[in-house]
Amino acid sequence: MNRSIAILGIVGGLLYGTALWRLNGVPHAGVVQEMQVALPRFVQVAMAGGDRYLAANMATWRALVASTENMQKDNYVIQGRLQADAAWLNPSHEDNFYVAAAILPWYGELEAAQYVLRRASESRPYDWQPALYYAFNIYHFERDPARAAQWLQRAAPKIPSENDRYMLEGIAVSWFEKGYQPATAVKVIESMAATARSGGFKKYLLVRAERLRSLVTLQEAGERYRTRYGKPIRSLQDLVDARLIAAIPVDPFGFGFDVNADGTPVLLTTRPKAKQ
């Protein structure tokens, strides 16, 4: 008996040691753990002990703690799904619509962001922010200032505070009059950072605003280049060579900037792959 147990122990130890040695050479999957799965809504509710509001909190926490530095397109799809679920479970959740507005549309999840913001706007009639961010997404991502302004004007009468109503109507008028202006995006992100509580998310928003400022600088320089030479830039280095900017700005996220097919500077939303 004792001999059998000793053999069992030795075999177990050998198996464990061999497996450990083999696994040490295998890298972990390079995806963000928090954003691998989105469970069905009723499973999320069951996992929260039947409490839909706790389930909404849990989904929002997952979105908040996920590190965007290592996220790929698939992870943002999951985050969009998760935040849409949170908005369904508790449409009034302020953090959820706020994080959704700050992240999702910027990484290709415009539809999910608009769902979250529409739900928040309907369930928070006293709050002008979901309506503003919803309209801003139409303005900035769909490049449709007139429709964005109309949406703001529709939302404004629902806001109880007279000051907030005037402010939204003022923004709507400016969008109608001036059309699309890239610097507006910087102002929106800066205002989001200004009202956030001190902490990681506030810092994240401030860095985002800095990136956008750099982008606006590059886009304005790109326009000047087009006016001066009658053609678009092919790379950001063209702007430096034409002495329109001193140097290509450094992206604090490390993703960098690029030039699209139209010759317009754009933000990269994922870390560029290392050159072989």
Partner 1 sequence: MKNAPNGAFFTLRTEIVRTFFLNTWLSGLRSRSFQAVFILGILLIGIAFLAGFFSPRQPKTVTLDVGLFGLRFSLVLLCLFWVQELVSKEIERRTVFFTLSYPVPRSHYILGRYFGILALAAVALLIEGLLLWLVVLVAGGQYQQQFMVALGLPYWVALAGIWVDVAVVTAFALWIATLSTVPILPLALGAAFAIGGKSLGPVHDYLAQGAEGDKTLVTTYLPALDAIQWVLPDLSRLDWRLWPMYAQTPNTGAMYWSVVMAVGYAALMLFLAVRKFSRREFS
Residue whose CB is less far from partner 1, 12 or 160: 160
8 Å CB contact between 96 and 116: yes
User: CB of 108: closest distance to partner 1 in angstroms?
Assistant: 20
Verify binding: residue 61, partner 1, rule CB under 8 A.
yes
Binding mask 16-45 for partner 1 (x = CB under 8 A): -------------------------xx--x
**Within 10 Å of residue 251's Cβ, how many Cβ atoms?**
16
Binding mask 190-219 for partner 1 (x = CB under 8 A): -----xxxxx-xx-----------------
* CA neighbours closer than 13 Å in the CB half-sphere of residue 28: 3
Residues 153/158/161/167 CA torsion (nearest 10 deg)? -10
Residue 169 phi/psi, 5-degree rounding, is: -65, -35
The residue from 83, 101, 124, 238 that contacts partner 1 (CB under 8 A) is 124
Residue whose CB is less far from partner 1, 60 or 214: 60
Span interacting with partner 1, options 29-37, 58-66, 103-111, 179-187, rule CB under 8 A: 58-66
* CA nearest neighbour of 237 among 253, 222, 226: 222
Q: What secondary structure letter does DSSP report for 248?
A: P
* CA nearest neighbour of 235 among 263, 194, 200: 263
Positions touching partner 1 (CB under 8 A) are: 41-42, 45-46, 48-55, 57, 61, 64-65, 88-89, 92, 94-95, 98-99, 123-124, 126-127, 195-199, 201-202
